[in-house]
Amino acid sequence: MISVRHLTKRFGSHVAVDDVSFEVTPGEVLGFLGPNGAGKTTTMRMITGFLPPSQGSVVIDGRPLLEEPIEAKRRIGYLPENPPLYPELTVRQYLHFVAEIKDVPRARRAPCVDRAITRAHLTEVAHKRVAALSKGFKQRVGLAQAIVHEPKVLILDEPTSSLDPKQRADVRDLILGLRGEHTVVLSTHILPEVQEVTDRVVIINRGRVIAVDSAQNLSQRLRGYEEIFVEIGGAPVASVREVITAIPGVTRVELEEHGADRITARIHSDLGTDLRAEVARTLASRWRLLALRNESLSLEEIFLKLTTEQESA
Ligand SMILES: Nc1ncnc2c1ncn2[C@@H]1O[C@H](COP(=O)(O)OP(=O)(O)OP(=O)(O)O)[C@@H](O)[C@H]1O
Ligand SMILES: [Mg+2]
């Protein structure tokens, strides 16, 4: 649905985006992650046709952006870092205005605006002036203007930045509601959020792509082993170690005592193995098994590892 090939942007001698390529499949939600100044906004502005690339190409739903800009842009909804809102208009008037400039046929405008209002949860403020809205509601208006012409592709530049946790959760639900129907690229700094919402992440640093994968695969790739976390009550440390070590497939055990009656353990095994059932059975038949879960690296850890690896390379 989106094909980005060798995109490069130079500002004078500074290379802001350096040979970036990736594909986004129809209905996919792709997270675009990177530290400040990594080139996220610059890449998004090139994908949406707001900034001409120094080199490279973008194809949206089979339409090359450079050769067929009108057809390609028609298929895109864009939430920029600072959406251009018209404070004097009401939410409904503003969305009608956007639908008009996006060439939505006159007869389709009212239903399109209604749909965007519903999806962005703006019904109760639709009659209010944009100027009178709180920041979170303005952000939702920004999202509504991106979807009002029902584009196949949505490019959202930090859609949850500067929102409180409740508003953030609302916007996250909205994005989850768009999945499947729209192809979405979203940038963010809030890493755990990306894990919930996205199918894959592209990580960029200093203008270059340093990883493309699902958050889970990245986590495994960087660690090189599987890890299970368990918490046990009523067990002597020495026998816990002995019993866990004897489970086939276990390569390493790290134990920690918490007071007299609680032990936590990190159990390692080779990549691709899953010892959860066996570990649960073995421990629960002897002691009180209080917790058991698969541990994966958080995106925060992945991100730090990848960006520092690159710096030391
Ligand atoms: N119009 C411009 N002229 C000159 N340099 C620019 C311009 N726009 C961006 N840059 C530079 O390009 C680099 C990438 O900026 P960009 O805004 O794409 O980063 P970003 O990943 O979106 O960062 P942030 O997380 O802070 O939004 C930065 O070094 C920035 O200073
Ligand atoms: Mg940015």
Query: Is the whole model's pTM more than 0.75, yes or no?
Result: yes
DSSP 9-33: EEETTEEEEEEEEEEE-TT-EEEEE
Q: What is the average pLDDT score of the chain?
A: 90
From ligand 1's centre to the CA of 64, what distance in Å? 24
Query: Is the predicted pLDDT of residue 55 greater than 80, yes or no?
Result: yes
> Six-digit token pair at 217?
């695969």
> Looking at residue 129, what DSSP letter applies?
B
Helices (H), 248-298: 276-284
- Specify the range with the lowest mean pLDDT, choosing from 42-46, 137-141, 239-243: 137-141
From ligand 1's centre to the CA of 158, what distance in Å? 14
Measured from the Cα of 38, ligand 1's closest atom is 21
Q: Select 2-219's CATH number: 3.40.50.720, 3.40.50.300, 3.30.930.10, 3.40.605.10.
A: 3.40.50.300
Q: What integer pLDDT is reported at residue 226 of this predicted model?
A: 87
- Specify the range with the lowest mean pLDDT, choosing from 4-8, 117-121, 131-135, 195-199: 195-199
> 37: Cβ below 6 Å to ligand 1?
yes
The residue whose CA is least distant from atom 11 of ligand 1 is: 16
For ligand 2, a single-atom ion, the residues with CB < 5 A are 40-41
- What is the distance between the alpha carbons of residues 209 and 223, in angstroms, rounded to a whole number? 20
From ligand 1's centre to the CA of 76, what distance in Å? 22
Q: Which of 148-162, 185-199, 213-227, 299-313 has the highest mean pLDDT?
A: 148-162
Q: What integer pLDDT is reported at residue 162 of this predicted model?
A: 67
From ligand 2's centre to the CA of 75, what distance in Å? 22
Q: What integer pLDDT is reported at residue 163 of this predicted model?
A: 76
Q: What integer pLDDT is reported at residue 260 of this predicted model?
A: 82
- What is the distance between the alpha carbons of residues 250 and 270, in angstroms, rounded to a whole number? 8
Domain boundaries, the chain: 2-219, 225-296
Rounded percentage of the chain residues whose pLDDT exceeds 90: 65
Q: Which of 26-40, 46-60, 82-96, 190-204 has the highest mean pLDDT?
A: 46-60
CATH topology for 225-296 is Alpha-Beta Plaits (3.30.70)
Q: What integer pLDDT is reported at residue 170 of this predicted model?
A: 81
Query: Is the predicted pLDDT of residue 281 greater than 90, yes or no?
Result: yes
> 11: Cβ below 6 Å to ligand 1?
yes
Kindly give, in sequence order, each residue whose CB lies less than 8 Å from that of residue 100, ignoring residues fewer than 6 positions away: 109
Q: What integer pLDDT is reported at residue 171 of this predicted model?
A: 82
Amino acid at 136: G
Rounded percentage of the chain residues whose pLDDT exceeds 70: 97
Amino acid at 145: Q
> 188: Cβ below 6 Å to ligand 1?
no
Q: Tell me which H or E stretch contains 210.
A: strand 208-213
More confident residue, 64 or 303: 64
Q: Which pLDDT band holds residue 105 (cuts at 50, 70, 90)?
A: very high
